[in-house]
Structure 1
Amino acid sequence: MTLDKNKLSQEKLDQIITAARLMKTGGVVAFPTETVYGLGADVTNANAIRKVYEIKQRPANHPLIVHIGEIALLKSWAQAIPESAWILANHFWPGPLTLILKRSQHIPDYVTGGQDTVGIRVPAHSVALALLHALGPDKAIAAPSANLYGKISPTSAAHVRAALDKKIDMILDGGACTIGLESTIVGFNRDTVSVLRPGGISVSAIESVLNKTVVLCQNTRSATRVSGSLPAHYAPTTPLKLYPTEMIFQTARRLSARNLRSVVITWSDIDLPELNGSNIHHVRLPNKPTSYGKHLYATLHQYDHAAFDYILMEAPPELPSWLAITDRLQRASFSHISSTI
């Protein structure tokens, strides 16, 4: 794959070269991808990876995803790669797909949480690819999302700055993420292909490319630990709750009567009831899952810092195309399930 540097300004290329130099000397750099912003460090630098875990306050046994610059480099970072993985890589990379593969000797324990597997992907973002190319073909970037562990993922440089500004060496600003949800994570076990985390690529798209049924391991115990798989994740500080369409506004009115402020976030074209007072704010996100996903985290960031007592989300439709969004919202609301309104 050839990188088209003409898409980037000279100023941006200079920033990327600076970021690469920092990473080569053990620095930690936030950088954009098409999914969310990553908190990147040189895979082979133990001190830099340790800083990533410390900055995020991330458990040491929770593995990081390794980002590489092109498909041809996959053999350097993984071994015993199954045919299905090659098919998916050639079809979806660069793109929001992470493959869980047997790690090569170049991948140390501190990246994989001690597992013998590693998650690898090629990001579809010109800045991320330019950074990888600036590092060189013998380097890769280990990067979780550039936020505090378990909190809302960042989809802009401003989100990273608000959470981590003084803690990291540099933030590469690449604009708003075009997908806005994390990558789909796929694992392989003999002839079985499993989706371990739904994301930017649908299960049906993977099945279509492989011409076989794929197992969905969502909300089930998997032998392989992967990013974003804990019950509570992607969560705002403000309590977030999911409600069916018919219940969400009556809940908001009940809270308002107690002088509690709530932001009501919907996707459907429901008729708004009469909303009295200033305790309820309504936001409508797009009713198409791709557009909804692109704006979800940015919306949560905005209203998590707007002095509301609750974020009330209209439950997504029970359709395969909304699977990744449902997954994120269920995990974002998990810590607040037992609380009553």
Structure 2
Amino acid sequence: METKRLSQQDIQTAADLLRAGGLVGIPTETVYGLGANGLDPAAVGRIFQAKGRPQDNPLILHIPGADWLERYCRDIPAAAYELARRFWPGPLTMVLRRRDNVPDQVTAGLDTVGMRCPAHPLCRAVIQAADVPVAAPSGNTSGRPSPTTAAHMLEDMDGRIDAILDGGPCSVGVESTIVDLTCTPPRLLRPGGITLEQLRAALGEVAVDPAVTRLMGAGERPRAPGMKYRHYAPKAPVTVVTGAPERSAAYIAAHAGPGDGVICFEEFLPMYAGGARPVMSLGPAGDKGEQARRVFDALRAFDHTAVSAIWAQCPDSGGIGLAVTNRLNKAAGFHIVEA
């Protein structure tokens, strides 16, 4: 299969491919997604084939606005419309009760479905033109770091999908926050671009699912993408080092071998200067938004090197730091060292 490279003028082409059952890489503000017609079971099945994705890992339906929720969801609580008013379009996915027109292939057989209205104008334009909800996980092969540019996605998906629509680099850099609104209190299933603090300001009490901070067991069933499996991982094994930035930087400098790679905060680059090991900046220690934009780029960059292991500094869990920490920990298979 030849993967077509589409430009911002090719919205209708992308929409036509989706309506015909094709797979299209689409830009969002979070990461690039691998999109298919979310009402077409065969097309959705091809997402799993292209990614090598486990069948029990549910997908998210992307829609152009909250006025589409009633088409695919039932028993919608008032909290959903309040969150949509505050955070849509944006990096927030809400888990709601699904209607029967949502295929089991999207939900992994669950009676719920994740719904999101992305902020990227190209993405919404394609959905509007296709006039179908778009099922779209991140556009990487399963387990690898998510793509935040069209070039990243082509590394994994060239020849596997029909087309990719280039919308430039992603502005958030980590996947959407997922909150389950079918339980009381609402439950954070995956941290992302909308922070836990923002959710609590809107909803009051919000519980945090244990899978945010640990691996799920083999018998546990994920209620949302990114919960169960080792995700976001480069080829080399990753060790995450937590603690005050000065301590974690010193720990890595003392323990990293000459053939290891390092992901560190901008301020600590000079600590590793002059050595043979590759070093990637995560951004300034105090700028978690920049860290979110860089984390997948940094992890993915090491696949073009010969490093035998990767050591990564990690922010604290305040704000979007919880999402950065979650992605690093999952990339490391929760191999974490406290400095």
TM-score in same-fold range (> 0.5): yes
* CA drift at 1:318: 4.3
Deviation per residue, 1:249-297 (Å, 9 max, x gap) = 55456554xxx42222212634844756423536352321111101111
Decide which moves more: 310-319 or 103-112: 310-319
Quote how far apart the aligned CAs of 1:329 are.
0.5
Partner of residue 279, structure 1: 277
Q: Aligned residue for 1:241?
A: 239
Aligned residue for 1:29?
24
Q: How does 1:62-211 map to 2 (within 5 A)?
A: 62-136=57-131, 139-210=132-203
Amino acid paired to 2:324 = I
Residue 305 of structure 2 corresponds to 306
SS in 1 for 2:58: coil
- Unpaired runs of 5+ in structure 1? 1-9
The amino acid that maps onto 2:145 is I
Q: CA RMSD in A?
A: 2.4
SS at match of 1:98: strand
TM-score, L = length of structure 2: 0.88
Letter in 2 for 1:236: P
CA distance 1:190–1:61, shift in 2 (3 Å): closer
CA contact (8 A) 2:61 2:135 kept: yes
The residue type equivalent to 2:213 in the other structure is: N
Quick check: 2:95–2:182 contact (8 Å CA) kept in 1? no
Percent identical among aligned pairs is: 36
The residue that corresponds to 1:4 in the other structure is: none
- Hey, what's the Cα distance between the residues in 2 that align with 1:197 and 1:274? 33
Helix, strand or coil at the partner of 2:186: strand
Equivalent in the alignment of 1:331:
330
The structure having more radius of gyration, on CA atoms, is 1
Specify every segment of 5 or more residues in structure 2 that has no aligned partner in the other structure, as ranges. Answer: 1-5
- Counterpart CA distance in 2 for 1:33 and 1:19 is 14
What is the aligned length?
A: 322
Contact 1:252 1:280 in 2 (8 A): no
Partner Cα distance (1:248, 1:199) in 2:
25
The CA distance in 2 between the partners of 1:304 and 1:88, in whole Å, is 38
Amino acid at match of 2:198: A
Return the letter of the residue paired with 2:231. H
Q: Distance in 1 between matches of 2:279 and 2:303?
A: 13
* 1:263–1:283 Cα contact (<8 Å) kept: no
Give the 3 Å change call, closer, same or farther, for CA 33–53 of structure 1 in structure 2.
same
1:58-82 Cα distance to aligned partner (Å, 9 max, x none): 1111101000111101100101001
Partner of 1:213: 205
Q: Give 3-state SS (helix, strand or coil) of 1:123's partner.
A: coil
Cα pair 2:144 2:232 within 8 Å, conserved = yes
Pair 1:261–1:248, CA change in 2 (3 A) = farther
User: How far did residue 108 of structure 1 move?
Assistant: 1.0
Would you say the 8 A contact 1:261–1:308 is kept in 2? Answer: yes
Asked if the contact 1:36/1:177 (under 8 Å) is kept, the reply is: yes
Among 256, 259, 262, the residue aligned to 1:261: 259
Partner Cα separation in structure 1 for residue 189 and residue 251 of structure 2: 36
Q: CA deviation at 1:130?
A: 0.7
Q: Deviations over 1:291-310 (max 9, x none)?
A: 11011112222232122222
